[in-house]
Amino acid sequence: MKATDLFNSPNAPYTQYNSSVPNHRDHEAPADIFNALRYKTLPSILTEKNIGDPRWR
C-alpha cells in the first residue's frame, strides 16, 4: 500500500527535489501536519488490519 493511498496528504508541499541544488523547503512539513497524516476513511482502508501503530489509530 502506498502512502498516498493511506494518508490524506503524505507528501511535502515542495516536491521538486534536486540533490545537486539544496533548497531550504526540501524537508518542509505540510501546514496542517496532523490532518495531512490522518488515515483516509475509505472502505478499502478501514477493512485493512494492523495498519500503523495502534496508539495512532
Given pLDDT bands bounded at 50, 70 and 90, which one contains residue 35?
Answer: confident
Residue 21 lies inside a defined structural domain of this protein: no
Residue 57 lies inside a defined structural domain of this protein: no
pLDDT digits over 45-55, tens only?
A: 777 777 766 77
Output the furthest CA–CA distance in the chain (Å, rounded).
42
pLDDT digits over 4-33, tens only?
A: 888 888 776 666 777 788 777 777 777 788
Q: What does the alpha-carbon distance between residue 28 and residue 3 come to, in Å, rounded to a whole number?
A: 17
Residue 6 lies inside a defined structural domain of this protein: yes
Whole-model pTM: value is 0.52
**How many domains, the chain?**
1
Structural domain boundaries, residue 3: 1-11+26-52
Residue 41 lies inside a defined structural domain of this protein: yes
**The predicted structure's pLDDT at residue 15:** 66
